[in-house]
Amino acid sequence: MSDDQKSAFDPNPPRRNFYGRRHGKTLRQSQKGYLSEDLGDLRPRGITVQDNPDRKPINPADIFGDDRPVWMEVGFGGGEHMVHMAHRYPEIGIIGCEPFINGVAMLLGKIRAAGVQNVSVHPGDARDLMDVLPEASLSRAFLMYPDPWPKARHHRRRFVTPEHLLPLARVMKPGGEFRVATDIPDYVRQTLEEVPPAGFDLISETGMPWDDWISTRYEQKALREGRVPHYVTFRRKA
Ligand SMILES: C[S@@+](CC[C@H](N)C(=O)[O-])C[C@H]1O[C@@H](n2cnc3c(N)ncnc32)[C@H](O)[C@@H]1O
């Protein structure tokens, strides 16, 4: 892996803990090719501390070339939902964040196969992107099957905590939609408790997926193991 590639996968500033995995099993040759050939052009600039030590706000219009609505997916995993949304809504731009390199490689393969152009890929922590996004710049955000952190002493690591939700509220447009899917009842509880005080109204909490939903790898696993999906929708307060 070149130095450039290494820095792409080590974007976390030391002041911040990331508890998930960054690497999984050895990448296939084709996946290494996607990373070295495609990621450079698809990465948004000025997100990492190395790229932007002063944390100057970026202009999302620089990413997509115009001032289209911008959406963000936190933890896209294998990327099936992100590519599906990009394909379904060509008029928007979607930035995906995922520190797990194997997931990034999978997404890049799917982007090639689908030929979608309206995507940007931050191979790191969503908090680094939110740090440098201007206020009220996102129209929609997705948190699909976030890491459950089942042990009570780890619940503060969940995304649905003020550490993540307050920056999210800052970067979302008033009226912007925030979707959360999870199969963990206690994650639903914490989501319903913590998201509204960060500045969101609850719109719905249901077992019926959104009309434009595509099931993700984690959802398929949850269904195979007999767990029940929950779909929660919030709107950023005006
Ligand atoms: C359980 S997986 C779900 C993946 C995918 N959304 C799905 O439904 O198949 C959760 C993912 O969130 C990622 N993740 C966790 N914290 C994150 C953060 N702060 N920023 C971006 N991604 C994060 C993890 O690396 C992991 O791949």
pLDDT for 19 equals 82
pLDDT for 24 equals 87
Ligand 1 pocket test, pick from 82, 84, 100 with the greatest ligand atom count within 8 Å of Cβ, gives: 100
219 Cα nearest atom in ligand 1: 8
Ligand 1 pocket test, pick from 147, 157, 164, 210 with the greatest ligand atom count within 8 Å of Cβ, gives: 147
Residues with catalytic function:
147
Domain enclosing residue 40, as ranges: 3-236
Chain CA centroid to CA 156, Å: 18
Minimal-distance CA residue to ligand 1 atom 23? 75
User: What's the rounded Cα separation, in Å, for the pair 41 and 100?
Assistant: 19
Binding residues: 73, 98, 125, 147, 151, 183, 216-219
User: What's the rounded Cα separation, in Å, for the pair 174 and 195?
Assistant: 15
Q: What is the pLDDT along the chain (238 residues), one digit of tens a residue?
A: 444 344 444 444 445 788 888 888 899 999 999 999 999 999 999 999 999 999 999 999 999 999 999 999 999 999 999 999 999 999 999 999 999 999 999 999 999 999 999 999 999 999 999 999 999 999 999 999 999 999 999 999 999 999 999 999 999 999 999 999 999 999 999 999 999 999 999 999 999 999 999 999 999 999 999 999 999 999 999 9
pTM: 0.93
- Compute the distance from residue 97 Cα to the ligand 1 centre, in Å: 8
Centre a 10 Å sphere on the Cβ of residue 1 and count the other Cβ atoms it contains: 12
- Segment 196-231, tens digit of pLDDT: 999 999 999 999 999 999 999 999 999 999 999 999
- Compute the distance from residue 64 Cα to the ligand 1 centre, in Å: 23
pLDDT for 15 equals 58
* 75 within ligand 1 shell (Cβ under 6 A): yes
* 216 within ligand 1 shell (Cβ under 6 A): yes
pLDDT for 20 equals 85
- Compute the distance from residue 82 Cα to the ligand 1 centre, in Å: 12
* 157 within ligand 1 shell (Cβ under 6 A): no
Task: Report yes or no: 132 and 52 within 8 Å, Cβ to Cβ.
Answer: yes
Minimal-distance CA residue to ligand 1 atom 27? 77
- Compute the distance from residue 127 Cα to the ligand 1 centre, in Å: 12
Domain tally for the chain?
1
The continuous run of DSSP H or E covering 186 comes out as helix 185-194
97 Cα nearest atom in ligand 1: 21
Q: CATH number of the domain that 48 lies in?
A: 3.40.50.150
Q: Give the Å distances, CA to CA, from 140 to 32, 46, 74, 80, 187.
A: 31, 21, 11, 17, 20
pLDDT for 5 equals 42
- Segment 120-139, tens digit of pLDDT: 999 999 999 999 999 999 99
pLDDT for 14 equals 44
